[in-house]
Amino acid sequence: MSNAKKILVLEDEPSIRSFVVINLERAGYEVVEAEAGEVALKLLKEQPDIRMALLDIMLPDIDGFEVCRRIRGTGSKIGIIMLTSKTQEVDRVTGLMTGADDYVTKPFSPTELIARIDALYRRIGDAVVEDPGRLVSGPFVLNTRNRTLEKNGERIRLTQVEYTIMKYFMDNPGKAISRGDMLTAVWGNEYFGEYKIVDVNIRRLRLKIEDDPAFPSHIQTVWGYGYKWGND
């Protein structure tokens, strides 16, 4: 099996796909190409060493959102970046809510694209170097060895980003955390995205862990500032 950093690029427009592939290969990635959603899902099943996926939204069969949902539905924790429209805010929010880790808006520069991919790949790579242990808070147990979360003994499926957010919260119980601090802690110093990515991931995480996401008791909002982990 190759030791190269392996990424799937799902894009139906040949010229854009070629542009992305060339720049990724120059940056040291091994690229697997797909022009349709069903093809991409088949390749991911056949090649489990793919660590990341770059998904376009508009595709000839199923859209990129559905591809993302199906990937996460298998429990896969690969890194996922959506290619979204610059004018459609709903695309970015929908992509994150379906399980994407980040988004890049079209048109994009090669430098921006590679920086986003490199940053996410580093976060995925960090998954294998954590010290074994457990964090316990109320009904939650976060296992830092296998990066899993349980609530009342039942496993909750998390993406890598969601896991990192949960760990940051549970490392800082009762502490008000600004959106800027959360952005840096989870996405890294080199990330220059919007605070919205924090808010959408918090919304997605609440849907998974709260008894009533409309009235969250664990991830509490600190109005005008950020969030804190409820110290029940």
What are the C-alpha distances in Å from 228 to residues 9, 20, 82, 193, 221? 36, 39, 28, 21, 7
Q: How far is CA 55 from the centre of its chain?
A: 12
The set of residues, in sequence order, having a beta carbon less than 8 Å from that of 165 and lying 6+ positions away, is 182, 186, 201, 202, 205
Kindly report, residue by residue over 13-57, the tens digit of the pLDDT. 999 999 999 999 999 999 999 999 999 999 999 999 999 999 999
- When pLDDT is cut at 50, 70 and 90, the band that residue 3 belongs to is low
Cβ distance 168 to 182 under 8 Å? yes
Kindly state the DSSP code that residue 44 receives in the 8-state scheme. Answer: H
- DSSP annotation of 130 reads P
191 or 110, which is more confident: 110
Q: CA 134 → CA 46, 71, 75, 83, 172, distances in Å?
A: 33, 27, 21, 36, 14
CB 147, CB 159: distance < 8 Å: no
How high does pLDDT run on average in the chain? 88
Give the Cβ contact number of residue 15 at 10 Å.
8
Please enumerate in sequence order all residues whose Cβ is within 8 A of that of 28, keeping only pairs 6 or more positions apart, or say none.
Answer: 4, 5
Q: What is the pLDDT of residue 2?
A: 47
> Is the pLDDT score of 225 beyond 80?
yes
pLDDT, tens only, 57-115? 999 999 999 999 999 998 888 999 999 876 677 888 888 889 899 999 888 888 889 98
At residue 62, the 3 state secondary structure works out as coil
**In this structure, what is the dihedral angle of CA atoms 15, 16, 22, 25, given to the nearest 10 degrees?**
-140
Nearest to 56 by CA among 36, 73, 30: 36
pLDDT of residue 130: 45
Q: Residue 225: which residues within 8 A CB-CB, separation 6 or more?
A: 176, 178, 179
